[in-house]
Amino acid sequence: MGDSVILEICVDSVQSALAAERGGANRIELCSSLFDGGTTPSAGMIATIRNRVAIDLYVMIRPRGGDFCYSHDEFAAMKRDVAIAKQLRADGVVLGILNQDGDVDTARCRELLEHARPLKATFHRAFDMSRDLGQSLEDVIALGFDRVLTSGGEQKVQDAIPVIKRLQEMASNRIALMIGSGIRSGNVRELISQTSAREVHASARCVEPSPMRYRNEKVRMGTLPEWEYQRAVVDEEEVRNLVRAISAPSQ
């Protein structure tokens, strides 16, 4: 891929994982509950996707949606989930824990990393919810994470270009900064140019209707009624477009 930029696609289904691989992604981040920002997928989903795709598979280790400050029992669950990801031949894990003051919980993150090795590890966007991005970056580097996923502390990458550039300077090749949030094929080349990022995280999602012919419109299983009979899935063509844009020569 152009200038060795790595494209990671977040997925929550076998269909999306296959679309990401066919579209040319280098890596997938496997989650459940993407509408909650991503939580730990089931063992069955990890195993099935591992058997279906050859590209790198990173597994989200997050026991629930919401904040990133976890109870003793939640932390115990995370350790077990790391062990399961290793057992099921994941290439890496994606995790992050903050304490009540919004700093990186270095003790717990270190323990999870020790459980995870030799798998690679990404510190996810808990980073963007931390109190001090500069200090958090130093903590994540000291812990030995391979990369950090960030939108620069803003909702979208494009709103945090100066911050991401500063973080890149601070990182100084000690860790990979992967930009993510709001990235599409129409803006990825410009964002790479502006941030000097060598790794990009995108969802590349589109909406497709449910194949159900019978529909009980009186009942809904989720909190968003419009999603009962439609699905958000990875758009294979958008992944291809991202790859083309990333590979395009710089202007």
Domains in the chain, number: 1
pLDDT, residue 250, reads 62
In SS3 terms, 181-229 reads as CCCCCCCHHHHHHHHCCCEEEECCEEEEECCCCCCCCCCCCCCCHHHCC
* Residues 174 and 181: beta-carbon distance below 8 Å: no
Q: How far apart are CA 63 and CA 39, in angstroms?
A: 6
| Parent domain of 229 | 2-247
* Residues 37 and 68: beta-carbon distance below 8 Å: no
pLDDT, residue 144, reads 97
pLDDT, residue 186, reads 96
Q: Which residues of the chain have pLDDT under 70?
A: 1-3, 250-251
CATH code assigned at 135: 3.20.20.380
pLDDT, residue 131, reads 96
Tokens matching residue 113: 């990393």
Residue type, 87: Q
pLDDT, residue 32, reads 94
pLDDT, residue 251, reads 54
pLDDT, residue 2, reads 42
pLDDT, residue 1, reads 42
Contacts for 213 with CB less than 8 Å, ≥ 6 apart: none
pLDDT, residue 3, reads 52
Closest residue by Cα to residue 80 from 111, 56, 106, 104? 111
